[in-house]
Every structure is written in C-alpha cells, then in structure tokens.
Structure 1
Amino acid sequence: MHEGLSFEEFASSRARKLFQVAYLMCGDWHQAQDLVQTTLAKLFAVWGRLQRGGQTVAIDAYARKALLRTYLSHRRLRRSGELAVAAIPDRPTGEHREGTELRLTLVAALRQLPPRGRAVVVLRYLEDYSIEAVAEALGTSVGAVKSLNTRSLARLRELLADDRELLFRK
C-alpha cells in the first residue's frame, strides 16, 4: 500500500475520478465540483485517522462513501420543489459527435432518476460496486438495492426508448 501518502497527493490523484462520479450522480458540473470539494474537506478533517491504517484502498472506499453521503444529504436539503438544470450544450460537430451525443443522452436520462436510483446505477455500473457494496454505501439492505436497481434500469430503458438508434449505432 501507499503508506505515508499525503492528503495533497491523494486529492490530486483522486479528484478527477471523484468528480466523474459526482457529475453522473447530480448531473450538474458546478454541483459536482462542490460535492468533491465538500468530500475532500471531510477527508482532510479525518486524514490522520485514515492514514494510521495505511490502507490506501480503504481510503478510496471511504472517499467514495463520503461523496455518496454528501450527495444524498445535499439532495435531502434541496427538496424545495426547485429543480436546477444545467444548460444543454450546443450539438457537437466533427468526428466525436456520436460519442458526445450518446454521453449527453445518457447523462440526461440519469438526471431524471431519483437521487438514490441514480446513485445505485452510477455505483453499480460506473464504479463496478457489487450489490452488497452498494447496500453498505447506502446504508440499506441488499434486497432494497436490487429492487432500486431493477426499477432504475427499467426507467432508463423507458427514457432511452426513443434513442435506441443512437445507443446501438455501430
């Protein structure tokens, strides 16, 4: 393991991955930046205790769990009825258009899932968590995660039904 890893080294090497996960969960660039900053601040506060274990893998898991809890906590606080939506960028041109369109389509569909459903999908399929690991991160049962995963994937299929050509283009 990486015993003696400084907080600055950890933050600089992991911030991009944390941002990707945060963005896919919240769907907003600025909110994702805020979530990562809040998560890193929480990690900094307990860094000495985390380092005593000397297990960088455990620190990575702790960081992802802190990010998830920060996101879910933020969502609970924002139940005012307002829904912040990031501006949709202009359609890209050139050789990367199809990949960008696919990404935008998937992110837009993810935004329409409830926060816990979005978190389950992102953790399962982006972070490659097991059902058990997702349940632990969410503080819920394996059965609840399976149910939420099934409902979330079914909803994504509904949302993406009109975009099947884009999704399966070769």
Structure 2
Amino acid sequence: MKDRSEYEDTFKRNYLRLVYSLMRRGAPLCVAEELAADVMTRLYKRWDEIESPENWVWATAHREFPTVMLKERQYVPLDEEPPEGGAAPSGAGCFADEVEDRDQWLRLLKSLPDRQRAVVGLYLDGLGTAEIGSALGISPSTVRSQFRNGKNTLAEMLRARQK
C-alpha cells in the first residue's frame, strides 16, 4: 500500500504544469483545470493500483483532451491567463528563448497542427520521447518527427517575424 503523502507530492508537482500544458494545446483555463482535477481525483481513488502515477496522469489527461474539447467546442482566448504559479515554457532550446511574451508564445503554438502542438507542449513540460508517445498514443519515431516539424515551423515563423 502506497503512502498517501506521496499522492500529495505528485499532485503538487504535476497539477499546475498539467493545466498549463492543456492550455497550450488550446483548452480554456476552466476546461484545463476541470480535466486536470478530474484526472488527479481518479488517480487518488486508484492510488494503490497505479504503478507509475505521474506517467498515468499525463497520459490520461492528454488522451482525453480531444474528447473533452469536442464536447466543449471552445477555443482558448488569447488573453486568458494561466493559473497562478503556472510555469512558463522552458527548455525548448533555440526557438523558445527568442519569444519574450507569453501571449506571443501561445499564438505561435496555436498556429501549429494539433499533434505538433501537443508534442512540442509536452516537450516543453519536460517529458521525454517515450513519455510523450505514451501520453499521446503514438510511437517514439512519430514523436521525433512531429517535434522536428513543429520546431522547424516555429523557427520559420520567428524568422519571418524578425524580417
């Protein structure tokens, strides 16, 4: 039997990052918070039977994202703020460092096709190729291809903005 204090630590490490990640995929704040809370609640109820809680949370939320968005039929307003304490995108290397404004960053991400946006967003959240593939139900080679294409598209958009 797992210690419930581990659940609290898992919640604290993942909830806000997950909400922000879902927003980067296009969910309005209220939808992102509701989906993240629902997944974390189900994790709590199944705590003892889930072997890798963090992977389960990310995979479940991102697998359910398209269905939730179809039900909501909503798109994120560009002026919507992430939850207080949400992490800004980091770790994206050459292209994220060139974008200073969070709203500009969200607009750039929104212009990517859904799968590229999902892969790049999860990469920015610090997930590796295998974890992203598991979360989205795609192979590691597809993750690498989608990331490369998304990164190249973002780099082209940034070059065009600088001209």
Do these two structures clear the TM 0.5 threshold for a shared fold by scoring above it? yes
Asked if structure 2 preserves the Cα contact closer than 8 Å seen for 1:131 and 1:145, the reply is yes
Alpha-carbon distance, 1:102 to partner = 1.7
After TM superposition, which residue ranges in structure 1, 4 or more long, deviate above 4 angstroms?
6-10
Aligned pairs for 1:1-170 within 5 A: 3-6=2-5, 7=7, 10-12=10-12, 14-26=14-26, 28-50=28-50, 53=51, 58-75=52-69, 77=70, 84-88=75-79, 102-124=101-123, 126-164=124-162
- CA deviation digits over 1:48-107, x for unaligned, max 9? 323xx5xxxx212211112211223334x35x9x66241537xxxxxxxxx995211111
* Secondary structure class of the residue paired with 2:101: helix
Closer/same/farther in 2, CA of residues 129 and 10 from structure 1, 3 Å limit: closer
Matching residue of 2:84? none
AA in 2 matched with 1:151:
N
AA in 1 matched with 2:152:
A
Q: Please say which of residues 144-153 and 14-23 is displaced more in the overlay.
A: 14-23
Matching residue of 1:93? none
Identity %: 22
Asked if structure 1 preserves the Cα contact closer than 8 Å seen for 2:25 and 2:118, the reply is yes
Matching residue of 1:94? none
Q: TM-score, normalised by structure 1?
A: 0.67
Structure exhibiting the larger radius of gyration computed from Cα positions = 1
Unaligned regions of 5+ residues in structure 2, if any? Answer: 81-97
AA in 1 matched with 2:120:
V
Alpha-carbon distance, 1:151 to partner = 1.8
CA–CA distance in structure 2, aligned partners of residues 15 and 83 of structure 1: 21
The CA RMSD measured in Å over matched residues stands at 3.0
AA in 2 matched with 1:158:
E
Alpha-carbon distance, 1:120 to partner = 0.4
Asked if structure 1 preserves the Cα contact closer than 8 Å seen for 2:15 and 2:36, the reply is yes
Q: TM-score, normalised by structure 2?
A: 0.69
Give aligned pairs, total.
144
Alpha-carbon distance, 1:25 to partner = 2.3
CA–CA distance in structure 1, aligned partners of residues 159 and 35 of structure 2: 31
Unaligned regions of 5+ residues in structure 1, if any? Answer: 90-98, 166-170
CA–CA distance in structure 2, aligned partners of residues 128 and 9 of structure 1: 17
